[in-house]
Amino acid sequence: MKIILLNGSPKKNGNTVCLLKAAADEISQAGIAVEWLHAHELITGVKQPFCTVCSSPCTAGCYQGSALEKAYAEIAAATGLLVGSPVYFGTISGQLKAFFDKSRKMRADKRWFGLPGGALSTGAARFGGQETTIRAIHDIMLVHGMTIVGDGFPDQDCGHFGASVQQPAAADQAGLERARILARRIVQAGRLYAQAKG
């Protein structure tokens, strides 16, 4: 089993990574492998970082042989995906949007279908667009046919949309705890997904 953590922030040591690290620690404690992907690095590593629908259906020719292609395959082979993004004008970062826009071939081939996924978000204010950002990530997951997991767990409450914090993330203990709860849920869902795949 392996759970992918996708950082949608252009920063590798910012608030979004801090929130994802809380989830990563919980996943590791459950004995599950964690792999990090950084959307900014992956999308700027291809010649054309924005999807132009250069072929329909998508042939993935614009990123063949790149780290982006490998990242998409890693997600397809995983048992869970946690996606984090800072709030950019009430929604996900441009880097994360570009990362998912280029994933048309994965959708056409149903490579992520059924994969459990959860969302996390960081904002500059307590009510700074975190929930709309999480819902945007959920919308993308639904379009891929993924199974959305919230931040509820039997030992806690039923949860909400996902985990979110107010900056600075390290000081938002309630938000970090929700990330840990979400991580426990994604581990649980990932185990069921792995069993179903055989």
User: Torsion over CA of 125, 128, 134 and 139, rounded to 10 degrees?
Assistant: -170
Mean pLDDT of 120-144: 96
The neighbouring-strand residues paired with 165 are: 122
Q: Is 153 in a helix, a strand, or coil? A: coil
Assign residue 24 the CATH number of its domain.
3.40.50.360
- Say how many domains are in the chain: 1
- CB neighbours of residue 35 within 10 Å: 15
Q: Could you report the per-residue pLDDT of 142-190, keeping only the tens digit for each?
A: 999 999 999 998 888 888 999 999 999 999 999 999 999 999 999 999 9
CB 79 within 8 A of CB 116: yes
Domain that holds residue 161: 2-197
